[in-house]
C-alpha cells in the first residue's frame, strides 16, 4: 500500500456519518425543488404523469442517489481518475462518430443499457476534471507560460471539434466556454483570452461556410423568424407567443393553450420553459429563474470555499456548465440566440443530460465535503 493510500485511509477514518454532515443540504434541497418544477411542467406537457413526469421522478431519484454516493468519495481519488475519464470521453465521442445513433439529422447518441446516451454530456465533466488536474499545482507564473497552456488548449479543442462534427453546435459552444472558465479560474490572463477570441472571430466566416444547412437556417431564422413562419421560423414564433400569452400571473396549471393544443414544438425538452411562462406567467418564470440562479451561486460559493486548487477548479467548471445550460436554453426560447437544442437542466424531459448533471453535482459536492484536504506531493 502506497503512502498516499495509507494517508487517505487515515484521514477519512472519521467515518461516513461525519461526511454526511458536511454535505451542503441546502444545495440538495434546491435541486429537489428544481426537479419538482420539472415534474409540474412535464405533467402539464403530457396531460398527466405519463409519459414524461413519472419517468422524470424516477430518473431524478436515481440521479440523487448517485450524486450523494459520489459526494462521499474523497476528491483526491476522483482527481486520480481525471485523465482516465477524459480518455473515456474521447473514446465515446469517437464511437459516436463511427457508429452512433442518428436522430433529427445528427449523430449524437449511443445506446447503453437500452437508453440513448449523449457522450458529449459526459465529455464536459471529464474535460473539467482533466483541466483541473492539469492546473491544480500550477503557479501564477507557470499559467502565464504559453508552452504550459498548449496541452490543455488541445485538450479543449479536440472534443469541441468532435462535438461539432456530430453536429451539435450548442453543446460544442458550452464545452468551449466551460473549458475557458477553468483556464480563467487557474489564472489565465484576460488579454490572452482576448487574443484567442480575436482569432476565433477572424475564422468565424470560414466556420460559417462549413456549417450544415439547418445550422445556417437557424442563424437566418434568428435574425428574421417571420421570413418563414410556417417553416424554419415556426418554433421560435410559437415560443414567443407562449411566453407573452402568460401575462403577469399565467393562465393556470394545465390551462396553457399553446401547450395543450400542441402549438409548442419539443415542449417537453428544449421548450419546456415556455410551459412555465404560459401557465404561471412572469411571476412564475422569475421564481424559476431565481431558483436556477441560487443553484449557480451556491455552486460558485462552494468553489470559493475549497482550499485545494483541484476542488476549486472542478466546482467552478461544473457550476459554469450548469449556468451555460440555463443561459442557452432560456435565451433560445426567448429568441435572444439561435435555437440550439439544449435542454433546461433538471426540468426538461431526458435521461442522459439529467444523470450527467447529477453526476457532476456529485463531484462538486465531493469537492465541498473534502474542501479542507491537502493533496500529497507525489500525485493526485
Predicted confidence (pLDDT) per residue in 342-362, tens digit: 889 999 987 788 999 999 999
Q: Which residue has the cell 440521479?
A: 63
Q: Which residue has the higher pLDDT, 191 or 169?
A: 169
Based on the structure, what is the number of domains in the chain? 1
Quick check: is 377 in a domain? no
- Most confident by average pLDDT, 211-220, 269-278, 289-298, 332-341: 289-298
- Predicted confidence at residue 353, as pLDDT, reads 85
How crowded is residue 324: how many other Cβ atoms within 10 Å of its Cβ? Answer: 23
Mean pLDDT of all residues in 330-337: 84
In the chain, the DSSP E strands lie at 101-103, 106-112, 115-117
Q: Is the pLDDT of residue 164 over 60?
A: yes
- Predicted confidence at residue 262, as pLDDT, reads 74
Q: Is the pLDDT of residue 231 over 80?
A: no
Q: Which range of residues forms the domain containing residue 248? A: 3-369
Q: Is the pLDDT of residue 378 over 60?
A: no
Specify the range with the lowest mean pLDDT, choosing from 22-26, 194-198, 234-238.
Answer: 194-198
Quick check: is 375 in a domain? no
Q: How confident is the model at residue 19 (pLDDT cuts 50, 70, 90)?
A: confident
- Predicted confidence at residue 225, as pLDDT, reads 60
- Predicted confidence at residue 11, as pLDDT, reads 52
C-alpha 222/C-alpha 89 separation (Å) is 32
Quick check: is 168 in a domain? yes
Mean per-residue pLDDT over the chain, rounded: 84
Q: Write phi, then psi, for 151 (nearest 5 degrees).
A: -60, -45
- Predicted confidence at residue 107, as pLDDT, reads 56
Quick check: is 45 in a domain? yes
Quick check: is 320 in a domain? yes
Mean pLDDT of all residues in 294-302: 97
Q: Is the pLDDT of residue 368 over 60?
A: yes
Specify the range with the lowest mean pLDDT, choosing from 142-156, 219-233, 283-297.
Answer: 219-233
How crowded is residue 274: how many other Cβ atoms within 10 Å of its Cβ? Answer: 29
Percentage of the chain modeled with pLDDT above 70: 79
Mean pLDDT of all residues in 28-35: 97
Q: Kindly report, residue by residue over 44-72, the tens digit of the pLDDT.
A: 988 888 889 999 999 999 999 999 999 99
Quick check: is 376 in a domain? no
Quick check: is 380 in a domain? no
Q: Is the pLDDT of residue 380 over 50?
A: no
Quick check: is 378 in a domain? no
Mean pLDDT of all residues in 324-328: 93
Q: Which residue has the higher pLDDT, 288 or 230?
A: 288
139 class by beta-carbon count within 10 Å (0-12 exposed, 13-18 middle, 19+ buried): exposed
Q: How confident is the model at residue 102 (pLDDT cuts 50, 70, 90)?
A: low
Q: Write phi, then psi, for 254 (nearest 5 degrees).
A: 70, 15
Amino acid at each position: 500500500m502506497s503512502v498516499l493510500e495509507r494517508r487517505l485511509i487515515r484521514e477519512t477514518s472519521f467515518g461516513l456519518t461525519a461526511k454526511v454532515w458536511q454535505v451542503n443540504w441546502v444545495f440538495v434541497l434546491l435541486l429537489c425543488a428544481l426537479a419538482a418544477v420539472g415534474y409540474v411542467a412535464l405533467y402539464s406537457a403530457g396531460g398527466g404523469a405519463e409519459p414524461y413526469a413519472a419517468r422524470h421522478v424516477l430518473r431524478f431519484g436515481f440521479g440523487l442517489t448517485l450524486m450523494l454516493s459520489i459526494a462521499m468519495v474523497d476528491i483526491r481519488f476522483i482527481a486520480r481518475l481525471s485523465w482516465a475519464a477524459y480518455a473515456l470521453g474521447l473514446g465515446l465521442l469517437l464511437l459516436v462518430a463511427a457508429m452512433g445513433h442518428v436522430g433529427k439529422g445528427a449523430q449524437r447518441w449511443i445506446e447503453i443499457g437500452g437508453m440513448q446516451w449523449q457522450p458529449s454530456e459526459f465529455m464536459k465533466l471529464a474535460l473539467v476534471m482533466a483541466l483541473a488536474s492539469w492546473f491544480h499545482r500550477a503557479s501564477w507564473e507557470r499559467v502565464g507560460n504559453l508552452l504550459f497552456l498548449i496541452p490543455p488548449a488541445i485538450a479543449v479543442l479536440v472534443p469541441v471539434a468532435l462535438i461539432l462534427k456530430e453536429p451539435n453546435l450548442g453543446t460544442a459552444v458550452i464545452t468551449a466556454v466551460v473549458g475557458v472558465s477553468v483556464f480563467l479560474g487557474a489564472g489565465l490572463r484576460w488579454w490572452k483570452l482576448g487574443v484567442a477570441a480575436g482569432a476565433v472571430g477572424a475564422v468565424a466566416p470560414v466556420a460559417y461556410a462549413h456549417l450544415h444547412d439547418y445550422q445556417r437556417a437557424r442563424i437566418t431564422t434568428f435574425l428574421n423568424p417571420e421570413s418563414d413562419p410556417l417553416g424554419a421560423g415556426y418554433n421560435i414564433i410559437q415560443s414567443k407567443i407562449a411566453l407573452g400569452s402568460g401575462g403577469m400571473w399565467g393562465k393556470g396549471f394545465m390551462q396553457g393553450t399553446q401547450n395543450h393544443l400542441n402549438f409548442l414544438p419539443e415542449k417537453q425538452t428544449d421548450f419546456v420553459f415556455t410551459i412555465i411562462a404560459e401557465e404561471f406567467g412572469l411571476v412564475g418564470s422569475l421564481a424559476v429563474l431565481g431558483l436556477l440562479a441560487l443553484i449557480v451561486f451556491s455552486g460558485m460559493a462552494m468553489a470559493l470555499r475549497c482550499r485545494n486548487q483541484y476542488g476549486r477548479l472542478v466546482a467552478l467548471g461544473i457550476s459554469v456548465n450548469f449556468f451555460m445550460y440555463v443561459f442557452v436554453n432560456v435565451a433560445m426560447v426567448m429568441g435572444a440566440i439561435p435555437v440550439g437544442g439544449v435542454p433546461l437542466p433538471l426540468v426538461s424531459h431526458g435521461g442522459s443530460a439529467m444523470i450527467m448533471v447529477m453526476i457532476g453535482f456529485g463531484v462538486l459536492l465531493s469537492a465541498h465535503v473534502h474542501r479542507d484536504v491537502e493533496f500529497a506531493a507525489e500525485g493526485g
